[in-house]
Structure 1
């Protein structure tokens, strides 16, 4: 997939640019579409497992606070890492995502303070008992 530049999308902020692409705070978005957003536009998509943590809207601070914690033990994970791990753990995972899309609630959209000013999106993973497999 050819990477596109998010700067070429209409809008002054990452939130406006993603809205132009059809992704808004509060939306329920298929996890596969969020992965495409990452792959195509370089948006760092972060899935949280804890609602109270994601709603505080402090992704950059959360990342710093959990830098010493192994990736798979954090209360959040990047979308590509999650999909890769789930696919390796369960060979039927990709097909199940087709049959029963996993919807992620978009909680926040922002920009990291790194040199590249990386755009990011935070989303809330549904609880396991809410997923209809």
Structure 2
């Protein structure tokens, strides 16, 4: 079981992601809609952060990913409709899952991202049209 930090301001999307992760046996911290609350909740035991780019109150997930990486050493997977912006900030994440995405592929992408964040070879990484690995 892995601990996943979920940062998504669309409550319907966040609930779907949380349900899928929990059904797959992962523990979910969140969902959070703002950078400050996600940073406050983040701790060393977090295995992966799933981070949207456009967040509530004008917060930017790219800023959060940088802070999580630099402050806590937490790897991020961007989950966003802003793929170009995510790729521009690839130094702070291991990849991007572009919205909208198929729910049935979501958990396999998260599992691959968890393995990649731990330096474990996950062969092959899922070849899903909505995923770009950095």
Which structure is richer in relative contact order (CA contacts within 8 A, separation 6 or more)? 1
TM-score calculated relative to the size of structure 1: 0.27
Structure whose CA Rg is larger:
1
